[in-house]
Amino acid sequence: MCGIVGILGTRAAAPLLVDSLKRLEYRGYDSAGVATLEDGRLARCRAEGKLKHLEDRLKATRLTGRTGIGHTRWATHGAPTESNAHPHATDRLALVHNGIIENYRELRGELEQCGAVFASDTDTEVIAHLIDLGLASGAAPKEAVEAALRRLRGAFAIAVLFGGDDELMIGARRGSPLAIGHGDGEMYLGSDAIALAPLTDQIAYLEDGDLAVLIRTGVDVFDADGRPVERPPTRATVTSLLVDKGNHRHFMLKEINEQPEVVGHTLAHYLDLTGGRCKPLDLGVDFARLDRLSITACGTAYYAGMVARYWFERFARLPIDIDIASEFRYREQPLAKKGLSLVISQSGETADTLASLRYAKAEGQQVAAVVNVEQSTIAREADMILPTLAGPEIGVASTKAFTCQLAVLACLAIAAGRARNVLPEAEEARLVAAFAEVPRLMSQVLRLEDGIEAIARDLGRAEHVLYLGRGTSYPIALEGALKLKEISYIHAEGYAAGELKHGPIALIDEAMPVVVIAPHDHVFEKTVSNVQEVAARDGRIILVSDEAGISAAGVNADRVVVPSMPAEITPLVYALPVQLLAYHTAVFMGTDVDQPRNLAKSVTVE
């Protein structure tokens, strides 16, 4: 993953680089570093851990150069140490890289035989030495970079500075995103427009295979075949202000609390709430003609897709194939020509989801993307975009993006039902009215926070936690378990409640909390039988249900009493108690809620 930034400026570059890196920390925070050029001399400063360590170190280091590159790392090859931190350098150049070089072992062996001495365990350092080799043999910087890139297998976005030339920076991308920023007598480069927002809003996105030669007054771009191409800048709409936590202790808590508002916006974008119908979707897709729809995503976005399967099958009678993107991309699944694939991604940069999109397009499918970042690679490569209007999500654990994905998918399923003539108009109106209630119900659930916090203190003492749910509550159980493990580091698993007796029941004893997501819907009684099975084995039950469900369950349990609501909308509302439960457990455990260990917000590697 990693975030990269480069500046050819007229002021000291280091503080500006750090400011941009703060905006890229969502891409990784294992280490950070900058390199600058001053009177042709390369200088570097790097630090293990979060950016604040680099900031502390920079206070004691005089880096005054106006040309510089910076990096924030999510470790893939090599431990998160200072020696593995970027920029990597030789006597002739310094380089930052986002991506993975798959053939780095063989290249490293080859380079070592030629006398290269490696100072890190990273895959990236081979790029630095390959370019260095070219420069040493007399090649100009652009030719040396091109020759090096031809040797690489894998994904990369890079930025390179050259000793002796304060006026030059080269960037290139294959697989990983790279944006070029145009300033007033300054030029920039970065992993995304948000990183460059304090510097400029004039942004051009490089296409896959592009190489960019930047000088202080402009840029020349060459495509994958080396032909000069125009990548004209357009005005980016991202805010230049750093998104802040407001009065909340963590971004995650702020984002949980934003859900009534952002889900409301998203629903209003797709639904005609007064008319009781879906707004016409200008997708260019005839749902009536589709035999099936294939959905692909990763992690939380995949769970949103799992919920959507129930909706599409029920509202639109449309069979759904759903896959985890990292599996789908290598399964070689035959896809119907002119069929429709749907990818779901908050960041729009997830490598596996992007690869699935490309596979589906290569198979002749149209691809629609549910994305939160409209400038992202997935948004740009998809045939049509269904935006989620969640706003920037900073907490690494996805919350508001998830419920906004659910909102978009519900609207799409209703629209598909109408287009296929299987959802009567009156039923559409009933569903639209039900979904219109979601923001209000979410606000009510947020008021349950104190009770959930008390339960979380107990959960924080457990070593393992099970989450159970049936129907659309099953993906919410999976999501609850994922949230808990990623931010509190407590081992948690989600199961379809009916699967309990097929294995996991062996784990139940008095030390095992079981969180049951059980709205009082048509499968409630089945779920209650499973709850009884847990109770009979002294399991500790945390029941998330409504009044009717709690009284019908008749078991001794910690309770989260959610308002009653139509069954179709429960996934959106029940997501909130499981998010709050994970959040307060993590706070109780004292973990880094917004930047949990080993994770990154945007997963741009396989």
337 strand-pairing partners: none
**For the chain, what percentages of helix, strand and coil (3-state, to nearest 5) are there?**
40, 25, 35
**Shortest distance (Å) from residue 268 CB to ligand F6R:** 22
Sheet order of strands, 491-496 included: 491-496, 464-469, 513-517, 540-545, 558-561
**Shortest distance (Å) from residue 14 CB to ligand F6R:** 30
Interface residue list for ligand F6R (CB under 6 A): 298-301, 345-347, 350, 353, 397-398, 482, 486, 602-603
Greatest CA separation found in the chain?
81
Q: How far apart are CA 544 and CA 580, in angstroms?
A: 12
Of residues 570 and 604, the one with the C-beta less far from ligand F6R: 604
Is residue 404 annotated as a catalytic residue, yes or no?
no
Which of 22, 254, 400, 601 is labelled catalytic?
601
Backbone angles phi, psi at 284, to 5 degrees: 70, 25
**Shortest distance (Å) from residue 581 CB to ligand F6R:** 14
**Shortest distance (Å) from residue 345 CB to ligand F6R:** 3
**Shortest distance (Å) from residue 303 CB to ligand F6R:** 8
**Shortest distance (Å) from residue 87 CB to ligand F6R:** 26
Backbone angles phi, psi at 215, to 5 degrees: -120, 175
Is the separation of the CB atoms in 81 and 29 below 8 Å?
A: no
- CA-based torsion, 355, 357, 363, 364: positive or negative: negative
Is residue 411 annotated as a catalytic residue, yes or no?
no
Backbone angles phi, psi at 506, to 5 degrees: -60, -20
Is the separation of the CB atoms in 285 and 384 below 8 Å?
A: yes
Write the CA distances from 263 to 244, 350, 357, 436, integer angstroms: 20, 23, 26, 10
Of residues 298 and 528, the one with the C-beta less far from ligand F6R: 298
Of residues 173 and 601, the one with the C-beta less far from ligand F6R: 601
Q: Look-up: residue for tokens 């993953």?
A: 1
Is the separation of the CB atoms in 68 and 111 below 8 Å?
A: no
Q: How far apart are CA 289 and CA 345, in angstroms?
A: 26
Closest CA to 476 of 491, 506, 458, 497: 497
Of residues 308 and 541, the one with the C-beta less far from ligand F6R: 308
Q: How far apart are CA 65 and CA 42, in angstroms?
A: 9
CA 223 to chain centre: 28
Of residues 259 and 345, the one with the C-beta less far from ligand F6R: 345
**Shortest distance (Å) from residue 395 CB to ligand F6R:** 8
Which of 2, 278, 404, 411 is labelled catalytic?
2
Of residues 36 and 300, the one with the C-beta less far from ligand F6R: 300
Euclidean distance between the first and the last CA atom of the chain, given in angstroms as a whole number: 9
Task: Give the tokens for residue 146.
Answer: 């091109």
**Shortest distance (Å) from residue 499 CB to ligand F6R:** 22
Is the separation of the CB atoms in 221 and 207 below 8 Å?
A: no
Of residues 202 and 345, the one with the C-beta less far from ligand F6R: 345
Of residues 279 and 380, the one with the C-beta less far from ligand F6R: 380
Q: How far apart are CA 303 and CA 384, in angstroms?
A: 21
Residue of this chain nearest to ligand F6R (CB atom) = 299
Q: How far apart are CA 210 and CA 207, in angstroms?
A: 6
- Residues with catalytic annotation? 2, 601
